[in-house]
């Protein structure tokens, strides 16, 4: 027969754990709404800044890009990888999925003959890769509960410094994109060097078809304006250097800041779901143990009654 005291102690312990998981679920739920709003508010601005910089970069001649350190293309021998995880656990498979993706990326880079060098964000990534042989350039731990622009600036400056000093020849970001309260996806995105959008070109087939079949006057005028737009020169005031001096740091910081916001929101949503599942499992386990306790108690009472009746019969 099960020990009633042990079952009672176990039920009490699980109830205490249930209170903790329930409290953590409520805290995460209260934070994730605000985090989701921050992500949704930052996405349009980040997209606009990225598009503006990429369009500006596409207007710069290739020969001029060699004079811009963060746009200069060179042979890739080492790759910097920014890995964004959390400081704390108890958030389901959130950190595990990121570390698995990062580990796979590191292995793929090494198989390709490239040297990975890490910039680690969060205690989880730092603790895991501390035991690895991969070189770590920078690590950022003790993250604020709400991502800050100051932290994004520090991370962006670390990546920029590594690229300009030729410590790495390319920089990537591994993080998570928030999709919904139940889903987030792990990504690998290119960060440095800054690549421009491919310039639109009029295909030879279009020219040949136009000459073979003369288009109406309106179509010829539209084609002429389109070609003029592609070949036009963009002027930068007061100069290209001054525009990029303000634009590039804003772009780098904003990309990192938005990645931190997405990661923070994904972490909170994952923690809320994990604590919700833990609370539900604790409730089910308490119900099962309560049934076992009651059955054992009833069996004990029945046995005691049987012994009393047997003793009375023996006295007769």
Nearest CA to 189 among 280, 273, 111, 258?
Answer: 258
Give the containing element (helix H, strand E) for 185.
strand 183-192
Nearest CA to 125 among 148, 101, 144?
Answer: 101
What is the 3-state secondary structure of 195-238? CCCCCCCCCHHHHHHHHHCCCCHHHHHHHHHHHHHHHCCCCCCC
**Residue numbers annotated as active site:** 91
Nearest 10 degrees: CA dihedral of 267, 273, 275, 280? -170
CB 167 within 8 A of CB 80: yes
């Amino acid at each position: 027969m099960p020990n009633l005291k042990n079952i009672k102690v176990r039920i009490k312990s699980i109830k205490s754990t249930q209170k903790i998981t329930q409290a953590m679920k409520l805290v995460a739920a209260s934070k994730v709404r605000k985090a989701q709003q921050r992500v949704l508010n930052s996405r349009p601005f980040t997209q606009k800044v990225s598009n503006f910089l990429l369009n500006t970069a596409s207007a710069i001649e290739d020969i001029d890009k060699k004079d811009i350190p963060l746009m200069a293309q060179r042979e890739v021998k080492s790759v910097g990888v920014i890995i964004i995880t959390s400081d704390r656990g108890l958030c389901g498979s959130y950190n595990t999925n990121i570390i698995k993706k990062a580990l796979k990326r590191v292995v793929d880079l090494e198989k390709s003959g490239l040297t990975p060098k890490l910039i680690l964000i969060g205690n989880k990534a730092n603790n895991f890769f501390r035991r690895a042989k991969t070189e770590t350039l920078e690590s950022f731990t003790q993250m604020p509960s709400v991502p800050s622009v100051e932290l994004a600036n520090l991370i962006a400056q670390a990546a920029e410094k590594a690229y300009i000093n030729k410590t790495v020849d390319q920089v990537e970001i591994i993080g998570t994109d928030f999709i919904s309260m139940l889903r987030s996806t792990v990504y690998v995105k290119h960060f440095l060097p800054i690549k421009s959008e491919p310039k639109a070109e009029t295909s030879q087939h279009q020219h040949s078809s136009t000459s073979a079949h003369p288009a109406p006057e309106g179509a010829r005028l539209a084609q002429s304006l389109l070609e003029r737009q592609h070949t036009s020169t963009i002027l930068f005031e007061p100069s290209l250097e001054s525009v990029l001096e303000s634009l590039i740091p804003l772009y780098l910081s904003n990309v990192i800041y938005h990645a931190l916001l997405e990661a923070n929101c994904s972490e909170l949503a994952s923690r809320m779901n994990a604590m919700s599942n833990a609370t539900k499992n604790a409730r089910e386990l308490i119900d099962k143990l309560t049934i076992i306790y009651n059955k054992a108690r009833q069996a004990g009472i029945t046995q005691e009654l049987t012994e009393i009746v047997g003793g009375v019969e023996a006295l007769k």
